[in-house]
Amino acid sequence: MVNATRVSHITLAAYFEAGILKYLLFVLLMLLYILIVFSDVFLIVVITTNRSLHEPMYMFLCSLFVNELFGSTGLFPFLMVQILSDIHTVSTSFCFLQIFQVYSYSHVEFCNLAVMSYDRYLAICFPLQYNTRMTLNKVAMLVALLWIYPLFEVAVMLSLTVRLELCGNSINKVYCDNYSTVKLACSDTSVNNIFGIIYIFTIIFGVVILIIFTYMRILKVCFSGSKQTRQKAVSTCTPHLASLLNFTFGCFFEMVQSRFNLSSVPNMLRIFLSLYFLTCQPLFTPVLYGLQLSQLRSFCKHLVFGKKVGSHL
């Protein structure tokens, strides 16, 4: 499909003159990015090199860490360059590429968290049948599905945006997003709007409903089960639920500040809200799982200190 865009670049209007403060922001972002990359890569190495961690839960965790490494790598270097730059413009091609990256990351993250909730549901509600229900082939299929389906859906969404004729070239963001770009169009956007509704519908009914269903069943088992069952549910579900709530609130903040007029809100706060799910989630999740899961924590200590540590600390 031929790109009918009239403009060759997009101006990111949310940036402001920070003076010497921009160097402090640059250093802060660089340190956060280094921490994210180190923690994600470290935990991926721990999981892949220890055969005892080659279980469904840790395979899904590894997929989650890979996605967060993908998301942060696509954003942090860009933000650091833009903070030091005096001209905050990007080519339309790069803008579309960033839209693909941001939406792919967020959609894969949601699907990954949904699959993890399904895995915990099987482990807690059907402990004796867990190994037969969650086989290696099923794990591989679920991992492939949670990556392929979001990437396909985002690719379709982006192809509809690329075909639009853009008459403006300024968006009030610090990165490109699909909603703001579509608003620049002076051609018909009805197809985009219809697909946007379908996109949100599939997330709500294909992902959120699955998560709600699994946690309702887990809660039912906890209330009717033994103390040991409740302890197992709390220990394995707490990091997942905390990560899920953190990411959901971050996405909600982004949707609110993108679609409603928040001119009365300070600019720095609006920027923080729009970046929260892209920056805090990759930082929050590895730390949360690394500290919470005793088996993962044990192997981390073993890898760092080079000595055997008990599996339950």
Domains in the chain with CATH codes:
9-305 (1.20.1070.10)
> Which tops the pLDDT comparison, 56 or 266?
56
pLDDT of residue 295: 63
Q: At 4, is the pLDDT very low, low, confident or very high (cuts 50, 70, 90)? A: very low
Q: At 294, is the pLDDT very low, low, confident or very high (cuts 50, 70, 90)? A: low
Q: At 6, is the pLDDT very low, low, confident or very high (cuts 50, 70, 90)? A: low
235 contact partners, CB below 8 Å, separation of at least 6: 292, 294
**pLDDT single digits (tens) 198-248:** 888 887 777 888 888 888 888 887 777 677 777 777 777 888 888 888 888
pLDDT of residue 254: 82
Rounded CA-CA distance 22/15 in Å is 11
Question: Mean pLDDT throughout 292-312?
Answer: 58
Question: Mean pLDDT throughout 303-308?
Answer: 58
pLDDT of residue 289: 79
Question: Mean pLDDT throughout 113-130?
Answer: 89
19: left (phi over 0), alpha (psi -120 to 50) or beta: left
Question: Mean pLDDT throughout 45-72?
Answer: 89
Q: At 309, is the pLDDT very low, low, confident or very high (cuts 50, 70, 90)? A: very low
15 close to 26: Cβ distance less than 8 angstroms: no
pLDDT of residue 203: 78
pLDDT of residue 124: 86
- Kindly list the distances between the CA atom of residue 281 and the CA atoms of 32, 72, 175, 225, 287, in Å, as whole numbers in the listed order: 12, 9, 17, 32, 10
- How many C-beta atoms lie closer than 10 Å to residue 234's C-beta? 11
Residue with tokens 């960033």: 98
Rounded CA-CA distance 212/114 in Å is 9
pLDDT of residue 2: 39
Backbone angles phi, psi at 9, to 5 degrees: -150, 160
